[in-house]
Amino acid sequence: MTEDRSGLTHIGVSGEAHMVDVGDKIDTVRIALAEGHVRMAMETLETIREGNAKKGDVIGTARLSGIMAAKQTANLIPLCHPLMLSKVSVDITEDETLPGLRVEATVKLTGKTGVEMEALTAVSVACLTIYDMAKAVDKTMEIGGIRVLEKTGGKSGPFRHPEAG
């Protein structure tokens, strides 16, 4: 496959989609950090904090769903490579300034391709789980701010989002 002139590695010169061949790349340690949030009414945040959501432990369940989602990324995103992840962590913290919950995911492996999509998938599914578990209390919740904050490893080198804290 010849790379399209647009620089998109998954698109051929005729516009057809292809999985990138990473076989000749060298293994490097690759880490990605992504974030997102769920904005909600203060009463909803208090319900979650007090453990009174009807479906159970919102934060614990969302953390687990994010970890599971990172491991399933290749099944969800068509051109992603299946990866042997060595670490997935999902941290969920209260933020009364939203108000709501902030979600961060860190994904790591030693391999031939990056883990940004796995980190983004972990954050996205954790946020969706928070919504699902608390929607009976607050249907107006808003999911947003999903982005890669930083990544290391690979030929392109490190990246840090200009707005990362």
* Active-site annotation, residues: 132
CA dist 70 and 89 (Å) reads 10
Q: What are the strands of the beta sheet with 87-95, ordered from one edge?
A: 87-95, 100-111, 28-39, 142-152, 159-160
In sequence order, what are the residues at sequence separation of 6 or more whose Cβ sits closer than 8 angstroms to the Cβ of residue 165? none
Q: Which of 155, 16, 154 is nearest to 1 (CA)?
A: 16
Please give the structure tokens belonging to residue 120. 């983004």
| Number of residues written out for the chain | 165
